[in-house]
């Protein structure tokens, strides 16, 4: 793995930066008015540590699953490798009483989805917001290509 030498992290290969996360629908992107878009990343070798916060005052016209796009690096293209991290959300249809979800990054993409685990069911993917304001904030780690 780049940035590692015999198990030791090469901090000279580390970097940091910002990115601009956006919310879009997987079928139809829709239109969103943002009040805050913050993305920060730290890269050590091929490990990407991210923090993202997206707040919006209105959205319309989107459909499909909610995607948070704009990750700074393409996720590693390894079948079945889908890193997850914790997110807090407000005004999203989580189909539960909870306001927490997990971010799931798909291989060879620059977006993540918010998913929920429900008792005795498969993961439930949060649909695109169709109206109103909202918030999502959280962090995770993934491998880049």
Q: What is the pLDDT of residues 33-52, one digit of tens each?
A: 999 999 999 999 899 999 99
Whether the CB-CB separation of 103 and 50 falls below 8 Å is answered with no
How much helix, strand and coil, in percent to the nearest 5, is found in the chain? 0, 55, 40
In this prediction, residue 79 carries a pLDDT of 79
- Which of 31-35, 91-95, 111-115 ranks highest by mean pLDDT? 31-35
Query: What mean pLDDT do residues 4-33 have?
Result: 86
Distance CA 140, CA 43 (A): 12
Q: What per-residue string of b and e applies to 95-133 under the rule 16 or more CB within 10 Å gives b? A: eeeeeebbbbbebeebbbbbbbeeeeeeebbbbbbeeee
């Amino acid at each position: 793995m780049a940035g590692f030498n015999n198990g030791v992290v090469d901090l000279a290969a580390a970097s940091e930066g910002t990115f601009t996360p956006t919310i879009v629908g997987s079928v139809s992107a829709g239109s969103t008015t943002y009040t805050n878009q913050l993305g920060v990343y730290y890269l050590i070798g091929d490990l990407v540590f991210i923090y993202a916060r997206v707040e919006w005052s209105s959205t319309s016209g989107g459909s499909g699953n909610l995607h948070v796009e704009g990750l700074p690096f393409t996720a590693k293209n390894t079948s079945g490798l889908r890193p997850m991290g914790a997110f807090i959300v407000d005004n999203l249809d989580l189909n539960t009483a909870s306001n927490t979800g997990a971010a799931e990054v798909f291989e060879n993409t620059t977006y993540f989805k918010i998913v929920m685990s429900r008792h005795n069911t498969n993961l439930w993917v949060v649909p695109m917001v169709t109206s109103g304001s909202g918030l999502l904030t959280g962090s995770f780690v993934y491998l880049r290509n």
